[in-house]
Structure 1
Amino acid sequence: MPAAVLYVINSANEVTMNRDTQRAKAEAFRAMHDRSRILVLPNAWDAMSARVIEEAGARAIATTSAGVAFSVGYPDGEAMPRDEMIAAIARIARVVTIPVTADIESGFAHDARDLAETVRRVIDAGAVGINLEDQVHDGTHSLYDLDVAVDRVRAARAAADSAGVPLVINARTDVYLLGVGDPASRFEHAIRRANAYRKAGADCLFLPAVVRRADIERIVPALDGPFNLLAFPGIPKIDELERLGVARLSLGT
């Protein structure tokens, strides 16, 4: 059984992890991105799967937006209510002792102020990291304009700083996932976005749908921060990804 973690009830009757415990977990989670050893992140969708993952020896746990949504009867893509997403994160964080990072998609918010509120509530739920996408969830399969997306990363960082938790922000660009623009321009487009997010306060940079070794070799040195890959069929094996300099691998849905 995992050791007990101290939680308190806040004024909104939400369960909140002790801030000292949370800060320590956030720092430990950030240290896992130093690229000395690849961080392999299994993804949980409820409290039971999180417990199984922890007891199997994982160093940290990530939630899966799709898995969480599917488990309560919604499709992926911010279709589930924000309150239900946050409640699921709280249940997961409450039953494990290792760091939990939450996939909050694009923050369940179209403006920076509402995004900051999502981040504050996710921190209150016990998460010490987030995935934040630059995709607009309105059915258009488009990305936020770069300046807007950068402002959203800044808003997430400011909200975490205000809460007193060194939240690990994994900024995700969906240039490759959505096939944005001409294939010949995607590398430059994705790198420009990812590095701008890093400058705005992101800790790790997530480019899902990158699969080929040649692309990975090109991307790793071009990024200004740790590189997160998604476990798509056909990607190199974990030990090879580590040799290539990939910092983090997410299992995903």
Structure 2
Amino acid sequence: MSQVEKAQEFARLHKKGEPLILFNIWDAGSAKAVTEAGAKALATGSWSVAAANGFGDGQAIPLSLLAVTAKLISVTSHLPLSVDFEGGYAVEPEEVAANVEKIMDHGAIGINFEDQVIGGHGVHPIETQVARIRAIREMADRRELPLFINARTDLFLQESDTAHHQILLDDAYRRADAFAEAGANGFFAPGLVDPELIGALCERSSLPVNIMVRPTTPDNETMAGLGVSRISYGPAPYRSVMGMLKSEAEAIYRHN
């Protein structure tokens, strides 16, 4: 498939009640393994990619290295690739769009783009994030690539007390509506785990809803029934693999 065809296929895979499952990867090797396991598409996780290269999360990994990682993944697997692009490595809309273009040039057909203030506190005002999303969409349209912009809100992830998530729902609705109008293709709400609230968001949002698997999220079948269109595993696959590696190495070194 061409890059445009991959982008179109990726969008088609987002079906309410029949979610796209993304077992997040971090390099070409993990991409190959997940592709061979039967994945329909690939998506990186920012935490995992950074950790695999010796960096912390929060855009600590250089953009140039992230771009090379995307390129290596895209030439290793024939599947559509979405890159977790955090906050776009900039604040100003034009700079963000230029950075996204670099990732597109290295094979990505989709991005996660979050509203949290990288290196600061809280989330960007809706108006600020809308301008940033709109700039990305306009750039992609000029390039004639239907880039899948998965607009992520960190409202729920930043509130560790899930009992308070109900209060945040109205703000999430406003953001989903505004992001959709600006040109987003999906709405990502990591940290949201309550089945009732997940279902309410799926019913209310005009965009396909993406939920990240956490220890307390409903199982995938339940989330499909709630109307979720995309399920991500975030850093869990990387942590699992590294945990196994460390455990096996410790067993060897204990006997030497």
Match of 1:143 in 2: 123
Q: Distance in 2 between matches of 1:129 and 1:106?
A: 14
What TM-score do you get using the length of structure 2 for normalisation? 0.88
Match of 1:222 in 2: 204
Counting only pairs closer than 5 Å after superposition, residues 151-190 of structure 1 correspond to structure 2 as 151-179=131-159, 183-190=165-172
5+ residue gaps, structure 2, are 236-256
Greater share of helix: 2
Match of 1:122 in 2: 103
The CA deviation at 1:94 is 1.2
What TM-score do you get using the length of structure 1 for normalisation? 0.89
Q: Distance in 2 between matches of 1:157 and 1:235?
A: 31
Percentage of pairs with the same residue: 36
Match of 1:14 in 2: none
Match of 2:254 in 1: none
The CA deviation at 1:236 is 1.1
| Aligned with residue 6 of structure 2, among 12, 25, 30 | 25
The structure whose Rg is larger is 2
| Aligned with residue 206 of structure 1, among 178, 188, 206 | 188
Q: Distance in 2 between matches of 1:107 and 1:246?
A: 25
Match of 1:81 in 2: 62
CA contact (8 A) 2:17 2:226 kept: no
Match of 2:239 in 1: none
The CA deviation at 1:183 is 4.8
Q: For 1:122-167, what per-residue CA distance to the aligned partner results, in whole angstroms no more than 9, with x for missing partners?
A: 11010111000001112x3311111010001101111111222101
The CA deviation at 1:81 is 1.1
SS of 2:21's equivalent in the other structure is strand
SS of 1:130's equivalent in the other structure is strand
Q: CA RMSD in A?
A: 1.5
CA contact (8 A) 2:166 2:197 kept: no
The CA deviation at 1:180 is 9.5
5+ residue gaps, structure 1, are 1-19
Match of 2:238 in 1: none
- The amino acid across from 1:191 in the alignment is Y
